[in-house]
């Protein structure tokens, strides 16, 4: 499947409703175990005009199916298999070697500026993405060469997304594979996604490192999902903005409001992403129906306004601050 239609302006993230719910508001943690409550959050986004949902696990697929049956509408699913998706090292999913991989990248493979940033700051401030044990043994060249895709496991992981249009594959595995020089595995994954009639989108955390290399290698994807908002991106916000502006493929910005100060002006943060940067869609997570409803509405209005501005001959060119 190719990208025949425009991506929706917003996608409601599924992480608040699965085992990543601990990342969201603590006072709602118990409610986020209640599928009826989770469905009410999804329903709020739908009632505000949102029809796109990010699905990572069976619980997300189940909620998506319930909402589709309830509304009778053709909802748009974005399958997100990036947790345990079949990339293997030493008989285990690649992600369980994060300590060893990150030490290898920091000490041997990353540009010194990025390695220093991760080692001195990000490994403590953003533990889920960059945390590692400095005493872990680096990977050997033989181990890097042995990394492989268990295609059967990948197909099994994708099977829960049978009602989805798109598959956002990669995640941290993509960041690590490209940094380790194993683009070939991502190419195999893109082929499998195509064979199963999904539209492939590469999701990554290290956007400014990963996306240019994916483009240079002509990786067979229809777009990218990257972390970006008005306040920050890894590893450098302005570099990420320049990269997004240079692409011909659509970009989904995830974590679009992941900074406390952005919540004081959500519309301004979204205007910046759509009009100034040129992203096509946002992927956001929330623990409340009110936030789901309001962010969905504001995203649609902000992208519509950006579309009108783009058609105006008086459209101004934005500088990076």
Using CB atoms within 10 Å of the CB of residue 83, give its burial: 0 to 12 exposed, 13 to 18 middle, 19+ buried.
middle
| Structural domains in the chain (count) | 1
Question: Quick count: other Cβ atoms within 10 Å of Cβ 122?
Answer: 18
Give pTM, 2 decimals. 0.94
DSSP summary character for residue 32: G
Tokens describing residue 16: 């608040």
pLDDT for res 1: 44
Is 38 domain-assigned?
A: yes
Residue 254: inside a domain: yes
Q: Are 224 and 202 in contact (CB under 8 A)?
A: yes
List the one residue out of 219, 209, 203 whose CA is nearest residue 171.
203
Which pLDDT score is estimated for 315? 47
Q: Is the dihedral of CA 82, 88, 90, 91 positive or negative?
A: positive
Tell me if the bond preceding 90 is cis, omega within 30° of 0.
no
227 lies in some domain: yes
Strand-pair partners of 166:
78, 199
**How much is the pLDDT for 316?**
47
- Per the structure, the complete domain to which residue 163 belongs is given by 10-87+149-311
CB contact at 8 A, 193 and 224: no
Give a yes or no: residue 226 inside a domain. Answer: yes
- 52 within some domain: yes
In degrees and rounded to multiples of 5, residue 73 shows phi and psi of: -100, 160
User: Which residues of the chain carry a pLDDT beneath 70?
Assistant: 1-4, 312-321
Residue length, the chain? 321
For strand 148-149 and strand 166-170, is the pairing parallel, antiparallel, or unpaired?
Answer: unpaired
**Structural domain contains residue 185:** yes
96 within a domain of the structure (yes/no): no
CATH at residue 298:
3.20.20.100
Closest CA to 278 of 75, 7, 12: 7
- Give buried/exposed letters for 206-235 (b at 16+ CB in 10 A, else e): bbbbbbeebbeeebebbbbbbbbbbeebbb
Sheet strands (E) in 73-207: 76-79, 87-89, 92-93, 148-149, 166-170, 199-203
* Residue corresponding to tokens 């101004």: 316
Residue identified by tokens 């009110």 is: 290
183 found inside a domain = yes
């Amino acid at each position: 499947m190719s990208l025949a239609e425009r991506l929706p302006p917003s996608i409601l993230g599924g992480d608040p409703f699965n085992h990543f719910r601990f990342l969201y508001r603590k006072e709602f943690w118990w409610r986020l175990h209640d599928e009826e409550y989770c469905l009410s959050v999804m329903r709020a986004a739908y009632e505000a005009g949102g029809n796109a949902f990010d699905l990572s696990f069976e619980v997300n697929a189940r909620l998506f199916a319930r909402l589709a049956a309830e509304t009778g509408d053709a909802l748009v699913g974005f399958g997100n298999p990036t947790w345990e998706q079949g990339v293997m090292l030493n008989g285990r999913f690649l992600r369980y070697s994060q300590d060893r991989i990150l030490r290898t990248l920091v000490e041997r493979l990353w540009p010194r500026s990025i390695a220093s940033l991760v080692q001195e700051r990000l490994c403590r401030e953003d533990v889920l993405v960059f945390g590692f044990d400095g005493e872990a043994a680096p990977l050997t060249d033989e181990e890097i060469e042995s990394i492989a895709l268990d295609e059967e496991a990948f197909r099994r992981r994708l099977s829960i997304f049978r009602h989805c249009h798109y598959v956002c594959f990669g995640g941290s595995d993509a960041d690590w594979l490209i940094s380790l020089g194993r683009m070939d595995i991502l190419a195999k994954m893109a082929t499998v996604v195509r064979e199963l009639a999904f539209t492939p989108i590469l999701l990554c955390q290290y956007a400014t490192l990963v996306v240019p290399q994916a483009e240079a290698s002509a990786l067979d994807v229809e777009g990218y999902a990257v972390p970006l908002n008005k306040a920050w991106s890894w590893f450098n916000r302005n570099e990420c903005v320049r990269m997004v502006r240079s692409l011909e493929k659509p970009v989904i910005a995830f974590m679009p409001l992941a900074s406390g100060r952005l919540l004081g002006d959500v519309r301004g943060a979204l205007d910046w992403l759509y009009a100034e940067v040129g992203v096509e869609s946002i992927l956001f997570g929330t623990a409340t129906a009110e936030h789901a409803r309001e962010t969905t509405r504001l995203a649609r209005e902000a992208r519509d306004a950006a579309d009108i501005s783009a058609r105006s001959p008086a459209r101004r060119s934005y500088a990076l601050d």
